[in-house]
A and B are shown apart, each in its own frame.
Chain A
Amino acid sequence: MNRATQNLVLPLLGCAVLRISAFSATYLNYVKPGFRPFLVATGVVLVILGVTGLIQASRPGKPSPEEGNGHAQAGSGDGQDMHHAHSEGPDEGTAGEEHGYEGHRHEGHRHEGHRHEGHGHDHSRGPRVAWLLCLPIFAIFLIAPPSLGSFAAARSDTPPPRDQTLTAFTPLTGEGPTDMPISEFIGRAWDDDKKSLTDRRVRLTGFVVPSRRKGQWYVTRMQIACCAADAFPLKVAVKGLKAPPEDTWVEVTGTWIPQTFGKMPNGVVYPELAGTDLVKVATPDEPYE
């Protein structure tokens, strides 16, 4: 990777980061909402780094530090080019010097300093591995990865962790259906001694995951602790409504079907909802709980 490319790839990556954080809410597909300022700062830093690098490289006579003193003697790049192009017979000694120094620089632009100092380690992989920085750029611009959907939700069938901080549930009040996060619904269904969900109409928002069992499907929301790599699905089985197409975002209204078993059985069990109303909705900005 030559120096100019290095100085251009960094700002491009910065722009990709800014595009998903500063100029849209796409970053919510990947990380928690509180992460935005850090992402914006990162994008800005990357852009600044690249731009200052370009300015430094294009400024004649101001050698970048690692190129050291040899540079100051050799003069600016442009000057040299002229020199080589036009002079037929330059002073032999000078030509030799320049030659060696130029060859050096070409080998690995930013590393020649290290070689001089005799650290003797192989730097050739360093700049090459930097090409991989283009992969997230490609992924962001070309695939534009959406939030995790039913493919990911169907893949992991581990029971969600109990939210132990929420054992004291406030009683549900008010008329009409209550909107609640799916995690709260699951918590109330399993862990609420007062059975506050009984006979209450609730409205859940999530995407559709088909079920292997007949006559039911799951309204699902992924929960993330930090980023989408640690996401796990929160599912509520919906009965009594025809399953919409997979991955559609819906609002389901219904009432909880109290479980009939006294103790939790082995395996994965989802709380059930007798659905009454179904509305298709747009994908929310914040797709995770």
Chain B
Amino acid sequence: MPELRTESRSVWDDQDETVPPDSWGRGASRGRSLPWGFALVVVLLVVGRFTLASRLTSPALQTWATVFVAICVQALPFLVFGVTLSAAITAFVPASFWTRALPRRPAAAVPVAGVAGAVLPGCECASVPVASGLMARGVTPAAALAFLLASPAINPVVLVATAVAFPGQPMMVVSRFGASLTVAVLVGWLWLRYGRSEWLRIPARPHGDGRKLARFGEAMRHDLLHAGGFLIVGGLAAATLNVLVPREWLTTIAGVPWLAVPVMALLAVLLSICSEADAFVAASMTAFSPTAKLAFLVVGPMVDLKLIALQAGTFGRAFTVRFVPLTFALAVLVSVLFGLLGFLGRPPL
């Protein structure tokens, strides 16, 4: 795989690094600019098929590739769904709808948006483009962020999956809902109070007076290429860690109570498992306390490698370096709090 990556990097350089002289611009007009990059990709595919394919068979590489492709294949439909919804919001829903639907006071709009997250079925990959679509439509960023954090964790699909993974423990579902919503609203309010607009890059949308359908398609392509690229970044990181970190390490750590919660939280970040599946993984970590599992379930949908990459790509780096640690810290704290309050039955930690 490394060879292939360097190849594509050299393509970027050719394409984008140099600002071409203006005379180039004239020749390379729309419809005429030839897809050299694409041609190179196809050539690589064909050549690789005959020369490389028979050699790329080491078990470690194949395992890595399986996990990588699995993450991509798993996330792509959700991403496409999220991008479609986001494009529909920008193209078909008038901005005035949001001012009517959400309370005018931003402080009140945050919890409303958080609860509204419950209706979007999907995982975290869908929520990033939708949140950016909402912001582009004039929704208060804090409210859109509350929606972004809440929706992957508290939607019905995820809650049902959690109930199935933890049979006979309804409090796990209740705690997950409660803790996730609490974190989402808290982060929203904190952003409202302390956030600065220059940190957040509100993604611009194609305006213009083009036909609605064309605008819809344009917004979808734009989002897919951006968010899709960053999804792959996250997928690469998650697959690599998934293959490199042996899971036995975890069982040893599970025995140390004060370590278990942060380790499970960190693991949620590193593994980047889809929020619809993470409950099964948490349930399989039998050695860990319920509080540690709750931390895994609350952190996972809000902060993970592919989300960080997606957010950095969508909202900018200045936003991500502030938003991610804040969310992570609050998610861990609130999970511990729910554990201490005895929601999960057994003595905490």
Whether B316 is near chain A, meaning CB under 8 Å from some CB there, is: yes
Complex CA gap A289/B151 in Å reads 29
Complex contacts, A155 vs chain B, CB 8 Å: 63, 243, 246-247
- CB-based contact B52/A8 at 8 Å: no
Q: How far is the CB of B218 from chain A (nearest CB, A)?
A: 5
Q: Which of B76-84, B111-119, B142-150 contacts A (4 or more CB under 8 A)?
A: B76-84
**Could you say which of A134-142, A176-184, A188-196, A272-280 contacts chain B?**
A134-142
**CB-CB contacts below 8 Å: B76-129 with A:** 76-77, 80, 84
A258 within 8 A of B: no
Given contacts A4-B34, A155-B247, contact A232 B284 (CB under 8 A): yes
Q: Are A106 and B24 in contact (CB under 8 A)?
A: yes
- Chain A CB count within 10 A is highest, among B68, B70, B285, for B70
Interface 0/1 of A143-172, CB less than 8 Å to B: 111111111100111111110110000000
Report B133-172 CB contacts with A as 1/0, cut-off 8 Å.
0000000000000000000000000000000010110000
Q: Are A31 and B74 in contact (CB under 8 A)?
A: yes
**With A117-B207, A127-B225: A4-B273 Cβ-Cβ less than 8 Å:** no
Contact check, B45 vs A228: say whether CB atoms are below 8 A apart: no
Specify which chain B residues have a CB less than 8 angstroms from the CB of A281 in the assembled complex: none
The smallest C-beta distance from A102 to any residue of chain B, in angstroms, reads: 4
Given contact pairs A151-B63, A226-B280, A158 touches B250 in the complex (Cβ within 8 A): yes
> Contact at B76–A42, with CB atoms within 8 Å?
yes
By the criterion CB–CB under 8 Å, are A130 and B73 in contact? no
Contact digits for B192-216, partner A, Cβ 8 Å, 1 yes 0 no:
0000000001101011111100110
Q: How far is the CB of B296 from chain A (nearest CB, A)?
A: 12
What is the CA–CA distance of A156 and B61 in the complex, to the nearest angstrom?
Answer: 16
**Given A1-B37, A10-B221, A56-B217: A227 in contact with B45 (beta carbons within 8 A):** no
Contact status B217-A165, CB under 8 Å: no
Please measure, in the bound complex, the distance between the C-alpha atom of A66 and the C-alpha atom of B217, giving whole angstroms.
Answer: 11
A20 interface hit (Cβ, 8 Å): yes
A119 within 8 A of B: yes
- Beta-carbon contact of B29 and A77 below 8 Å: yes
Within 8 A of B (CB), among A235-280: none
How many chain B residues touch A (CB < 8 A): the figure is 107
- Once A2-B37, A130-B226, A144-B53 are accepted as A-B contacts, the answer to whether A30 and B27 lie under 8 Å apart by CB is no
The verdict on A129 contacting chain B, using a C-beta distance below 8 Å, is yes
Q: Is the CB of A56 within 8 A of B214?
A: yes
Q: Which residues of A contact B15 (CB under 8 A)?
A: 1-2, 128
Whether B41 is near chain A, meaning CB under 8 Å from some CB there, is: yes
Task: Specify which chain B residues have a CB less than 8 angstroms from the CB of A17 in the assembled complex.
Answer: 73, 76
Binds B, one of A46-54, A198-206, A211-219: A46-54
Q: Which of B302-347 contact A (CB under 8 A)?
A: 313, 316
B9 neighbours in A (Cβ, 8 Å): 131
Q: Which residues of B contact A69 (CB under 8 A)?
A: 208-209
Interface centre among A20, A45, A119 (most CB of B within 10 A): A45
B309 to chain A: closest residue by CB? A129
Interface residue tally for chain A (C-beta within 8 Å)? 105
Taking a contact as CB atoms closer than 8 A, the residue among B8, B34, B66, B202 that contacts A30 in the complex is: B66
Interface of B is mostly: helix
> B174-182, B183-191, B233-241, B256-264: which one contacts chain A?
B233-241
Q: In the complex, what distance in Å separates the CA atom of A99 from the CA atom of B224?
A: 30
Collect the chain B residues with CB atoms within 8 Å of residue A33's CB.
none
| Partner among A58, A80, A135 whose Cβ is within 8 Å of the Cβ of B5 | A135
CB distance from B217 to the nearest CB of A (A): 5
* Nearest chain B residue, comparing its CB with the CB of A153: B63
Taken together as a complex, chains A and B put the C-alpha atoms of A226 and B125 apart, in Å, by 15
Residues of A within 8 A of B37 (CB): 1-2, 5, 131
Structural contact, A113 and B208, CB atoms closer than 8 A: yes
A105 & B30 in contact (Cβ 8 Å cutoff): yes
Q: B26-55 vs A: 1/0 string, CB under 8 Å?
A: 111111111111100100110011001100
- The 8 Å CB contact of B73, one of A114, A164, A227, is A227
- Tell me if B228 counts as interface (CB < 8 A to partner A): yes
The verdict on A65 contacting B73 (CB below 8 Å), with A105-B30, A230-B277 known, is no
Q: Does the CB pair B206–A138 fall under 8 Å?
A: no
Contact with B along A1-45 (1 / 0, CB 8 A): 111111111101100010010000001011100010011011001
Distance between Cα atoms of A228 and B34 in the complex (Å): 38
Complex interface residues of chain B between 275 and 305 (CB less than 8 A to chain A): 276-278, 280-281, 283-286
Q: What separation, in Å, do the CA atoms of A5 and B280 have in the docked complex?
A: 40
Since A110-B222, A150-B59 are in contact, a sample of 9 more A-B pairs with Cβ atoms closer than 8 Å, ordered by chain A residue number, is: A30-B70, A39-B76, A106-B28, A126-B229, A136-B72, A136-B73, A160-B284, A161-B280, A162-B286
The 3 closest A-B pairs by CB, nearest first: A65-B210, A226-B277, A225-B280
22 chain-A/chain-B pairs, Cβ below 8 angstroms: A5-B38, A9-B225, A41-B77, A41-B80, A52-B217, A53-B217, A64-B218, A77-B29, A81-B27, A81-B29, A98-B26, A99-B26, A119-B204, A121-B201, A134-B8, A135-B8, A143-B65, A145-B65, A145-B66, A149-B63, A158-B251, A227-B74
Binding site for A on B (CB under 8 A): 1, 4-5, 8-9, 11-12, 15-16, 19-20, 22, 24-38, 41, 44-45, 48-49, 52-53, 56, 59-63, 65-74, 76-77, 80, 84, 165, 167-168, 201-202, 204, 206-211, 214-215, 217-218, 220-222, 224-226, 228-230, 232-233, 235-236, 238-239, 242-243, 246-248, 250-251, 271-274, 276-278, 280-281, 283-286, 313, 316
